[in-house]
Structure 1
Amino acid sequence: MKSNRLATVAALLVATCAIAVPQAAAAQVGDQDATFLKSAHQGNLAEIAAGRDAQKNGISACVQEVGRVLVRDHTKLDADGKALAAKLGVALPAEPTAEQKAELAAVRAKAGTSGYDAAWLTAQDAAHTKTLALIDTELASGDDSEVKAAARAARPVVAMHLDMVRGGVCHAAKHPGTVKAGSGGHLAASDDARTMTGVAALAGGGVLAALGGVWFVRDRRTRRAR
């Protein structure tokens, strides 16, 4: 009987510890850091939705291209943010804020009209300005080094996006070839560059192999002549 009681107590202790560990981990994250992770996630969701909408309803090729860039970059930023939030035990919202959804709905209402692009660009100018302010607040007031590092890595990406829509004017050509964000690595379309590098390496290897073959044949002929 005594051994059974001890086993029961031990099982309860293990279960209690298992429950307490994630709670303790979450408690280690300050309010500022947790707020940043949640707000950044909602911002990413909002930008992904807005980018997809621009690809579908944008009138100009410029707006459609900026929309594509937003989807690409914010998807990668959000993947990094979700991984960090899970690691730190921070529960993230499931969708953008009511304000963000209302802003996209107001822009979407202009789909099919000449006013869509201007409305979309103006909304994105305001959204990315707010996101930069959110990032700067985290960098100035955050406590967790990993969260601050994520904010620091995201800043040039958001600043690049703002340059592309600043003043409600589309500047799709303003984004550079590569922009780094978090552990996601290079965000911009560097796949082509990597492909060309690989092709060049293969070509270089082929040339070396060919030269080696020519040298080998000449060497054998020289030896036979002797």
Structure 2
Amino acid sequence: MRKRPVAAAVAAVALCGTAAPHAFAQRPAGQDETFLIQVHQGNLAEIAAGQDAGRHATSKCVKQVGAVLVRDHTKLDADVKTLADKLKVRLPASPSAEQKKQLAAVQAKAGTSAYDAAWLRTQEAGHRQTLALIDQEIKAGKNSQVVAAARSARPVVAMHLDMVRGGTCHMAGHTGMVGAGTGGDPASVEADTAAVGTAGLAGGGLLAAGGATWLLMRRRSTRTQ
């Protein structure tokens, strides 16, 4: 009669032993958690910068790029927040102090041509840092879901860098990202966002969709050239 409780106890321990490694694997390591936090703050900073460009930029091109940043980083961040919630990672509510300082420095030039130049330089530096952050996660990340999210986000961030590379606005080569038939009009960005990004917030859906859409549009643009 005593053997049964002992056998049951041994079986329970064995089950716990097999389940524990799987549960542990789902927890983000230091690298993965840091990536989610930093990329989330980067998204918030880019959204704020894009909105500010819509209000204060003097050139149509910078306003258009700003609208694209708002659209794309809103989509990317929705997926980051979903993944962070799933992995129990607490995200900050605002950009970093340094990111806020950088935006304030650009805002000080609002309404002048100097604003556009400062905005473009800041966005080039910011997107280079984000790409480095993504590449580090792809190389050293331990959580497969976080690494997959980084891979999916990379082509979108690389496209943004192309749009501001050299501190010069290059919207013309990326009109496909704004949406067919919009003529690059920033006013059409919200409608295009709804058309492109409504499917699936979980499991990297938005990130994957954003990357796939960019690649498709890039191929079409190449063919027309």
State TM-score, norm by structure 2.
0.69
Q: Could you tell me which runs of 5 or more consecutive residues in structure 2 were left unpaired when the two chains were aligned.
A: 1-22, 179-195, 198-203, 214-225
Q: CA deviation at 1:176?
A: 6.1
Across the aligned residues of Structure 1 and Structure 2, the Cα RMSD in angstroms comes to 2.3
Answer whether contact 1:124 1:165 (CA < 8 A) is retained.
yes
Question: Match for 1:45: what amino acid?
Answer: L
In the alignment, the residues of structure 1 paired with residue 62 and residue 209 of structure 2 have an alpha-carbon distance, to the nearest angstrom, of 22
Determine the structure 2 residue equivalent to 1:139. Answer: 138
1:73-132 deviation digits (Å, cap 9, x = unpaired)? 000000000000000000001110000000000000000112010000000000000000
Q: Which has the higher contact order (CA 8 A, sep 6+)?
A: 2
Determine the structure 2 residue equivalent to 1:183. Answer: 205
Which has the greater radius of gyration? 1
Cα distance change, pair 99–186 in 1 and its aligned pair in 2 (3 A) = same
Q: CA deviation at 1:186?
A: 4.0
Cα distance change, pair 150–176 in 1 and its aligned pair in 2 (3 A) = farther
| 1:1-226 equivalences in 2 (<5 Å) | 28-175=27-174, 177=176, 182-184=204-206, 186-187=209-210
Answer whether contact 2:106 2:115 (CA < 8 A) is retained.
yes
Q: CA deviation at 1:173?
A: 1.9
Answer whether contact 1:26 1:89 (CA < 8 A) is retained.
no
Q: Give SS of 2:176's match.
A: coil
In the alignment, the residues of structure 2 paired with residue 94 and residue 25 of structure 1 have an alpha-carbon distance, to the nearest angstrom, of 27
In the alignment, the residues of structure 2 paired with residue 158 and residue 116 of structure 1 have an alpha-carbon distance, to the nearest angstrom, of 22
Q: CA deviation at 1:177?
A: 3.0
In the alignment, the residues of structure 2 paired with residue 38 and residue 103 of structure 1 have an alpha-carbon distance, to the nearest angstrom, of 19
Give the number of equivalent residue pairs: 166
Q: CA deviation at 1:38?
A: 0.2
Q: Could you tell me which runs of 5 or more consecutive residues in structure 1 were left unpaired when the two chains were aligned.
A: 1-23, 191-226
Percent of pairs with identical residues: 64
In the alignment, the residues of structure 1 paired with residue 127 and residue 210 of structure 2 have an alpha-carbon distance, to the nearest angstrom, of 17
State TM-score, norm by structure 1.
0.69
Answer whether contact 1:52 1:68 (CA < 8 A) is retained.
yes
Cα distance change, pair 98–70 in 1 and its aligned pair in 2 (3 A) = same
In the alignment, the residues of structure 2 paired with residue 109 and residue 54 of structure 1 have an alpha-carbon distance, to the nearest angstrom, of 12
